Amino acid sequence: MRVLVIEDEAQLADAIARGLRQVGHAVDIALDGEQGIEKARVSDYDVVVLDRDLPLVHGDDICRELATTGYPGRIIMLTASGSIDARVEGLLLGADDYLPKPFAMQELQARIHALSRRGGTVTPPILVAGDIVLDTARRTATRGGRDLRLTRKELGVLETLVAAGGAVVSAEELLERVWDEHADPFTNAVRITIMTLRRKLGDPPAVETVVGVGYRASCV
């Protein structure tokens, strides 16, 4: 899942990004409202973590624009104010959830996971393809009962392919869904990750290359 964090406190933004990456999300950061709205306009994020009191463009204005233009991602607003009035104001602007500061990282992780499941395409908590089982909440994968010990990127790629239900997923889409905005579009990261993933999955082959198009889970 791809997440945009719009937060002007650099240390907090970095801490949020680290916490979300630990549970397998691809995370981009914007340190002011102007940068945040531009990133959101360019990419469709699954979830936007939006601080309310931002410089250049206020968080309320960002929330209002995303909500009124039919942005596909979900919005969770962060604020130093924990009052009921502040929460109601944020929700009326179009936010899907509201979290007062300070907060526990585990709570933010859980709320983002819950928000992602409200979208149009819901990824089940358990994905099964043949003898492969992915637990998307615990971030684990097994094949034939054997723990695959996948890296975050390998798990993200496998989850994306299995969730596609046998449809072909391009390398560009995998790069966008599993990596972040800093990934070089000409990198070999996807090909190398597919190679190591195949080795860990073992036989029979579970990931097929569709030449010139992309990859698909052949075990679905």
Are both 194 and 135 inside the same structural domain?
A: yes
Percent over 70 (pLDDT), the chain: 89
Residue type for position 191? R
Residue 119 clears pLDDT 60, i.e. is over it: no
Work out the pLDDT band at 127, boundaries 50, 70, 90.
Answer: confident
Task: Return mean pLDDT, the chain.
Answer: 86
Are both 139 and 67 inside the same structural domain?
A: no
Are both 100 and 20 inside the same structural domain?
A: yes
Are both 154 and 210 inside the same structural domain?
A: yes
13 lies in which domain range? 2-116
Work out the pLDDT band at 120, boundaries 50, 70, 90.
Answer: very low
| Distance (Å, whole) CA 28 – CA 198 | 28
Residue 121 forms part of a structural domain: no
Q: What is the pLDDT of residues 15-64, one digit of tens each?
A: 999 999 888 888 999 999 999 999 999 888 889 999 999 999 999 999 99
State the SS3 of 39-85.
HHHHCCCCEEEEECCCCCCCHHHHHHHHHHCCCCCEEEEEECCCCHH
- The CATH number given to whatever domain includes residue 101 is 3.40.50.2300
Are both 20 and 60 inside the same structural domain?
A: yes
pTM of the model: 0.66
Residue 144 forms part of a structural domain: yes
Structure tokens at 42: 């360019």
Tally the domains of the chain. Answer: 2
Residue 101 forms part of a structural domain: yes
Edge-to-edge strand order for the sheet containing 140-143? 126-129, 132-135, 140-143, 146-147
Residue 19: its pLDDT value, please? 92
Name the domain boundary from 57, 83, 116. Answer: 116
| Cis peptide bond prior to 205, omega within 30° of 0 | no
- The CATH number given to whatever domain includes residue 131 is 1.10.10.10
Residue 21 forms part of a structural domain: yes
Residue 103 forms part of a structural domain: yes
| Distance (Å, whole) CA 199 – CA 25 | 23
Look at strands 2-6 and 146-147 and give their pairing.
unpaired
Are both 14 and 86 inside the same structural domain?
A: yes
Residue 193 forms part of a structural domain: yes
Q: What is the pLDDT of residues 150-177, one digit of tens each?
A: 988 898 899 889 988 889 999 888 887 7
Work out the pLDDT band at 198, boundaries 50, 70, 90.
Answer: very high
Percent over 90 (pLDDT), the chain: 44
Residue 81: its pLDDT value, please? 66
Annotate 94-120 with DSSP letters as a single string.
Answer: T-SEEEESS--HHHHHHHHHHHHTTSS
Name the domain boundary from 116, 135, 162. Answer: 116
Q: What is the pLDDT of residues 140-155, one digit of tens each?
A: 899 999 999 998 889 8
Higher pLDDT, 86 or 198: 198
| Distance (Å, whole) CA 128 – CA 117 | 18
Q: What is the pLDDT of residues 176-197, one digit of tens each?
A: 778 776 666 667 888 899 999 9
| Distance (Å, whole) CA 201 – CA 208 | 12
